[in-house]
Amino acid sequence: MTNNITYRIVCNHRTGKYGIKKVKQNDWLIEPIYDAIQGQDLENCHDTVWVKRNGKFGYLNITEKKEVVPCEYGFPIYFVNGGYAEAWKDYKAGVIDRNGKVVVPIIYDELQGRYEIVDVPDEEKHTIVLEDGMEKKVGPNAKHVFCGFAGFTNDGKAQAYDENMQPCEFADWEQYWFDDDYQWCEPENATRSVEEIEQRIREEYVKWRKMGGGMPYTHACRIDSDEVDDQRQKVIDLIYDRRHKMNKSWVHNKENADRIMRTNNLLNHAVEKAVKLGRKTAKSVEWMNKVPNLDGYCYETEVFVYPQWTNSKSEVGYKSALPRSKERNKLIVEEDDCHNHIWNIIAAMNDCYKVDGVGACFYHAATSGDAKEWKLKELLMDDGQSWDELIHYPAYMDCYFLVPFHHLYCDLYNYAFEDLARMNDFRVRVNVKLETKEKS
């Protein structure tokens, strides 16, 4: 809403590009030249919004009909915290102001906002835990106050900037950024190698399976007990320690980002294939609508995408980015049981929907062959902005992460970055369900 005028973001279906119109008017206020506009799923927009064109982001003033910040950055522009925005360019991060002026040099491999918890006086006190684990007495209306930005480089340099974007010293309460405060689930893992932790995972996983863990809910002999649950948690804790150990040595640079992007592209291709197959299958079995005695619904078509391997070499030909060496050969596991592969154990331990014991990183079910049920962009929740939580580094500015990869790394699994970079196989599966009842 601007000056009592309501705008709407509209897609030109012929070109697939977005522009802006006034409500109840058909003429374009902003021509449809953008790949995405902030809040393109909303009816209204504000005076200024981020826009995306040719894969790069800028900032648009609607009333002035011009880009205040040209589309040359690798991340959506959000002017918050006193009118400053994080900006990515050439795989580095910095800060710009509302005029597009660079106020923090675009030279950092990681950029974070600095926020201090400020007490509100004359209120009843209570205790909160800070990010560094320390406790602090605050009032019920205590809030995080923006203090500036903190920039970090891969070679260990760090610089703080205050709320006016002037270089300053880090405060005492920010020491957690420089301390390795990870609490090992098994303290011994701090000195163990990755291979030793993986062996512990296999051993504890086998114990859990022998105790009855991992059986489906429909299994007649499924066992629920505190002992089984405790054993399952032990495996999960070891997987967390392994991930932390591996991620400590991972460098967020362009070379590694390209490796992650390869996996992301493979996954996106698998999801596109799954949706096409699902749509085609659903359409071809519409005759099931005529089956007598249907129970509740006509039929349901399900599609899954999930990673799975028979051993450390995928069926499509595993090729590691790591050089062949004694250390590399130690990682190769040749057991016949696919669950001995560490990646499959990790996949089997999550709580998401599982297919053959392996969690799906994409799932969709539809009860008709209607094309609207199979719109790829809607299923991926693609709003023009990358889902990059927990991988928020400028080295990945070319990687367009969507929901499946978000699930694969953030929500459902506990793979390390090196695991993601080495994945070479995603499976697509389509199921059709039909349930009927016999009339008595």
Tell me which DSSP letter residue 313 carries. Answer: S
Q: Which residues, 6+ apart, have CB-to-CB distance to 212 below 8 Å?
A: 221, 222, 223, 228
d(CA 207, CA 229): 12
Per-residue pLDDT, 42: 46
- Residue 327 clears pLDDT 80, i.e. is over it: no
Inter-residue long-range contacts of 96-100, CB under 8 Å, 24+ positions, other chains counted: 96/69, 97/165, 98/59, 98/68, 99/68, 100/59, 100/68, 100/69, 100/70
Nearest by Cα to 234 from 263, 208, 214, 272 = 208
- Residue 261 clears pLDDT 50, i.e. is over it: yes
d(CA 228, CA 67): 59
DSSP-assigned letters across all residues of 56-120: EEEEEETTTTEEEEEEEESS----BTTTEEEEEETTEEEEEETTS-EEEEEEESEEEEEEEEEPP
- The residue written with tokens 């902030």 in the block is 38
Confidence of residue 436 (pLDDT cuts 50, 70, 90): low
Per-residue pLDDT, 348: 80
Nearest by Cα to 216 from 121, 17, 324, 354 = 354
Query: What count of other Cβ atoms lies within 10 Å of the Cβ of residue 62?
Result: 19
Confidence of residue 246 (pLDDT cuts 50, 70, 90): very high
Length of the chain: 440
Q: How far is CA 197 from the centre of its chain?
A: 26
Per-residue pLDDT, 368: 74
pLDDT, tens digit, for every residue of 4-35?
567 888 889 899 899 998 888 888 999 999 99
Helical pair 194-210 and 226-248, crossing angle rounded to 10 deg:
160
Query: What count of other Cβ atoms lies within 10 Å of the Cβ of residue 360?
Result: 24
Confidence of residue 186 (pLDDT cuts 50, 70, 90): very high
Report yes or no: 395 and 109 within 8 Å, Cβ to Cβ: yes
Query: The whole model's pTM is what?
Result: 0.81
Q: Which residues, 6+ apart, have CB-to-CB distance to 356 below 8 Å?
A: 308
Inter-residue long-range contacts of 203-206, CB under 8 Å, 24+ positions, other chains counted: 204/231, 204/234, 204/235, 204/238, 205/235, 205/339, 205/345, 205/349
Nearest by Cα to 414 from 244, 214, 249, 258 = 244
- Residue 98 clears pLDDT 80, i.e. is over it: yes
By three-state DSSP, how is residue 54 classified?
Answer: coil
Q: C-alpha angle with apex 231: 225 to 235, nearest 5 degrees? A: 145
Per-residue pLDDT, 124: 59
The residue-averaged pLDDT of 40-49 equals 60
Average pLDDT, the chain: 81
Confidence of residue 82 (pLDDT cuts 50, 70, 90): confident
Q: How many helices (H) and strands (E) does the chain have?
A: 8, 21
- The residue written with tokens 């923006």 in the block is 146
pLDDT, tens digit, for every residue of 129-152?
665 556 666 666 667 788 999 999
d(CA 431, CA 301): 6
